[in-house]
């Protein structure tokens, strides 16, 4: 079984990849930096020697590159069993005063990348009538939060894509799950003085994604909502 993960070398992406690798899934990963991908590949192959790890450096915000990544997967005869659209981009701010171009960048990375990669891989899934797609959204997709600006808009759009895609894929036996985590320690929080007790661990999200992938063909977890135990930040 193969799991394809975007933004796989850090934070939630890395934790999700590790959960699936430990369970014997082959990993197909992309991120922006070849060095980070190689480090992850070496680590996983040393710890999980029965799996394969295939990587490719991709600029997720470039529509042609992400479509090319999907085509490269298919041309490599890799069956897309599980797709995790995890790659994301966050810049704090408010709609009324964020820099020009912010919403375009957020949409390119947080929405269009998932749209293009999913569309590229879907025909192979639809032909086999199986597969599971996870879109990593955010609690900000349905709960307005301070200082999230266009990030919240882009994640709201990704949540909408997920809901519509789920309906379209029902006749093809393909599951589609929205993952809506609250504050989770990842690159966005590096360098902050956040109290560890106020924020979730990336592995919390990874465990839920993996668990949802293990249900029978007749059941689907539509939405995974996780928040810090003490509430949103």
- Active centre residues (catalytic): 151
**CA 173, CA 159: separation in Å to the nearest integer?**
20
Chain mean position to CA 98: 25
Q: Are strands 174-181 and 223-226 parallel, antiparallel or unpaired?
A: parallel
Rg of the chain (C-alpha set): 17
**CA 88, CA 186: separation in Å to the nearest integer?**
11
Residue 104: CA atoms inside 13 Å, Cβ hemisphere, count? Answer: 5
Residues β-bridged to residue 55 = 29
């Amino acid at each position: 079984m193969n799991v394809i993960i975007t933004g796989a070398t850090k934070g939630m992406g890395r934790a999700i990849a590790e959960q699936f690798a430990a369970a014997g899934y082959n990993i197909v990963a992309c991120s922006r930096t070849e060095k980070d991908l190689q480090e992850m590949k070496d680590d996983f192959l040393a710890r999980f020697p029965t799996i394969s790890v295939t990587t490719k450096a991709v600029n997720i915000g470039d529509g042609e590159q992400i479509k090319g990544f999907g085509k490269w997967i298919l041309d490599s005869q890799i069956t897309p069993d599980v797709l995790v659209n995890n790659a994301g981009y966050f810049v704090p701010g408010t709609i009324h005063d964020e820099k020009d171009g912010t919403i375009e960048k957020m949409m390119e990375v947080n929405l269009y990348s998932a749209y293009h990669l999913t569309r590229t891989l879907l025909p192979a899934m639809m032909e086999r009538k199986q597969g599971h797609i996870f879109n990593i959204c955010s609690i900000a997709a349905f709960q307005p939060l301070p200082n999230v600006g266009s990030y919240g808009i882009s994640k709201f759009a990704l949540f909408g894509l997920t809901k519509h895609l789920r309906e379209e894929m029902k006749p093809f036996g393909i599951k589609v799950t929205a993952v809506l985590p609250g504050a989770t320690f990842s690159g966005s929080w590096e360098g902050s003085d956040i109290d560890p007790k106020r924020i979730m661990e990336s592995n919390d999200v990874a465990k839920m994604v993996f668990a949802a992938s293990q249900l029978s063909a007749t059941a689907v977890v539509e939405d995974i909502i996780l928040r810090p135990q003490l509430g949103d930040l």
